[in-house]
Amino acid sequence: MKILFIVRLQTITVKLRLLRSYFTISKPLKKVEKTIDRTSFLRVHRSYLVHIKYAVRLDKKINTLFLMDDCNSTEILIPVTASGLKILNHVVA
């Protein structure tokens, strides 16, 4: 299962964005964060964990990370907080 990003929908519900579909689970984002590979996923926003492999560009002017969906060659925009920008500065050009 290749996950592009994980987004918190509600307090105890998260949506996993896979390459070809979505998958929803009833688990807080903090618990999901503890179970995933921390070298591949970064918390860039209080509601988003992203798989850094799919990051293609960071726009610091609008605090947005662009992920590439390889299946249909579209960019996915992910909001980024100030602390997320600090983390991403070391990872994404």
Tell the CATH topology of 3-88.
Answer: OB fold (Dihydrolipoamide Acetyltransferase, E2P) (2.40.50)
Whether the Cβ atoms of residue 14 and residue 32 lie closer than 8 Å to each other? yes
Token pair 């990003």: residue:
5
For the chain, domain boundaries? 3-88
Per-residue pLDDT of 8-26, as tens digits, reads: 998 888 999 988 889 899 9
Is residue 35 very low, low, confident or very high in pLDDT (cuts 50, 70, 90)?
very high
Tell me, what's the pLDDT at 24? 94
CA pair distance 19, 67, nearest whole angstrom:
11
Q: Which long-range contacts (CB under 8 A, 24 or more apart) does 14-21 make?
A: 17/76, 19/69, 19/70, 19/71, 20/71
What is the reported pTM? 0.88
Contact 48, 5 (CB under 8 A): yes
Write the pLDDT tens digit of every residue in 44-67: 999 999 999 999 999 999 999 999
**Across the chain, what does the average pLDDT equal?**
90
